[in-house]
Structure 1
Amino acid sequence: MADQFLEVQIPQQRTYNSIPFPSVLSPNPTTTAVPCSVSHLTETIKTQKPFLDSLLHKTGAVLFRGFDVKTAEDFNEVVEAFGYEEFPYVGGRAPRTNVVGRVFTSNELPPDQKIGFHHEMAQAPESPSELFFFCEVAPTSGGETPIVLSHIIYERIRHEYPEFVEKLEKHGLIYSLILQEDDDLSSPIGRGWKSTFSTQDKSVAEERAAKLGIKLEWMEDGGVKRITGPVPIIKYDKSRQRRIWFTSMVDWEDVGHDPVKAITFGDCTPLPADLCYDCLKIIEEECVAIPWQEGDVLLIDNWAVLHGRRPTNSPRRVLASLCK
């Protein structure tokens, strides 16, 4: 049944141990007369689910390109076809809005702003297992969603900075971030506490935060300091039997946040800023940034892959869906 899809190569792919990253699937014109339609794609996903699950596990990310996915409704049908359980976006910090069904805006930060590499909801007790992205409006330049394999990053950083990684493994990190009362769309982590915890009641917010392992300290201006941790940073991916760099520890130059103070080791000692920026360079060196084409659907294993966003000055609309 895998011949319903055609695995193709594109210039931006990388190869690790002879495995392309990401895998790119397009319609196979030799197997059907209407290979590009949404209905054909969803039926093929259902019948080839074991193949797609195996491919995602092997590569960490799968890009579907060349299919007739045009709208948020089409994208929602594709997500539903995989049969994954929906992951509720409670406690996440990115400002986003529900579009239809299980589809949300990916991040409402203006498109000319960069978003640093991260695993989705890495600080929460439970994170999404799969992420879908869909390009509804492709930018004319820039605006890519760069991705990188987390275990490759762990291995490189451990090799170059073993003592730093040893301390991370021992202590984890503490995040002390400020949430304003309402959303700040100028920040990639600007979701206000009301929308973060889906309530306007402080006591309800505290209850919901506690379930996520978060402590809240209220401020006089109506905002709140959100303290999370210590959070494990180096995790073990049991299904692949390897350690991964599961964090959002770098690139937090955000309004109201000094990254040196906002993120510390779990023993409250400061992070070495120079090493943090070196880690960013390593991630950039290893990442893959594929220019979006309209209709692209990107499926990411959130345990295997970090993602971010490149800035663009042209219109861009990428939608998302979180699964578990």
Structure 2
Amino acid sequence: MKAHHTHHFTEIQIPQQRSYNSISFPSVLSPNPTTVPFSLSLFTKAITTQKQFLDSVLHEAGAVLFRGFDVKTAKDFNDVVEAFGYDELPYVGGAAPRTNVVGRVFTANESPPDQRFLFTMKWLRLVPEFPSKLFFFCEVEPESGGETPIVLSHVVYERMKQRYPEFVEQLEQHGLLYTRVLGEEDDPSSPIGRGWKSTFLTEDKSLAEERFEL
């Protein structure tokens, strides 16, 4: 394992990383071992003071994994998210039934553990505005499963265009149409079982239609 120190943060490598164009994905940051102790308050302060560095790492790698920091609870995680200072986007249009825990923190899904998740951004294309950044946090590690797979969409696009150029050309020419049928209430047995009322944060059908990208 090699490390590169940048003030409060240390860039390290782990076996689970992948590489594209000689760039590690995701980039992995740990506390600088010369900064002891590295408390939660120091972590959030480091985020605000080294925001430009963190943004540059995110822009280059596409994803950043913070490992070894003192983040233990949902409230701790919310403090970390708030420290970045990004604008909050209401959870409108997503397919997964989720519960607000604290601040900006929501559960990942309310469906049974044997259900598989779709890629996070897929159904958020049902609305005109979708988040440019997402944060994930694991409070209690499961004995098995529970992984959140992440991919670089532009790399998927490039490889799809290489392998299936005619199919990608058709998509570029004609676009892609999703069809979903939403019930009124959430169905917690399905990972995409969010009803139209909670999906569009209203009980007014006309307002829901306004918020939907037709």
TM value normalised by structure 2 = 0.93
| Residues 198/119 of structure 1: CA separation in 2 closer, same or farther (3 Å cut) | closer
Distance 1:178 1:110 in 2: 21
Name 2:205's counterpart in structure 1. 205
Structure 1: 4+ residue segments shifted above 6 A = none
Deviation at 1:127, TM superposition (A): 0.7
Q: Does residue 93 of structure 2 align to residue 91 of structure 1?
A: yes
Q: Distance in 2 between matches of 1:118 and 1:171?
A: 24
Higher share in strand: 1
Matched, 1:18 2:22: yes
Q: Secondary structure of the equivalent of 1:126?
A: coil
Tell me the equivalent position of 2:40.
38
Asked if structure 2 preserves the Cα contact closer than 8 Å seen for 1:21 and 1:60, the reply is yes
Match of 1:223 in 2: none
Unaligned runs of 5+ in 2: none
1:80 Cα deviation (Å)?
0.4
Q: Give the counterpart of 1:150 among 143, 148, 153.
A: 153
SS of the residue corresponding to residue 206 of structure 1 reads: helix
Ranked by relative contact order (alpha carbons within 8 Å, sequence separation 6 or more), the top structure is 1
Cα root mean square deviation, aligned: 1.5
For 1:253-274, what per-residue CA distance to the aligned partner results, in whole angstroms no more than 9, with x for missing partners?
xxxxxxxxxxxxxxxxxxxxxx
What does residue 224 of structure 1 align with? none
| Number of residues of Structure 1 aligned to a counterpart in Structure 2 | 209
- Structure 1 residues without counterparts, runs of 5 or longer: 215-324
Q: Give, as a single letter, the amino acid of the residue that structure 2 aligns with 1:212.
A: F
In structure 1, the partner of 2:83 is 81
**Is 100-109 or 112-121 further displaced after alignment?**
112-121
Distance 2:92 2:108 in 1: 15
SS at match of 1:24: strand
1:124 is the counterpart of 2:123 = no
Alignment of 1:174-213 (within 5 A): 174-200=177-203, 204-213=204-213
Structure number with the higher helix fraction is 2
Q: Which residue of 2 aligns with 1:292?
A: none
Q: SS state of the match for residue 77, structure 1? A: helix
Aligned identity (percent) is 67
Alpha-carbon shift at residue 209 of structure 1 (Å): 2.5
| TM-score, normalised by the number of residues in structure 1 | 0.62
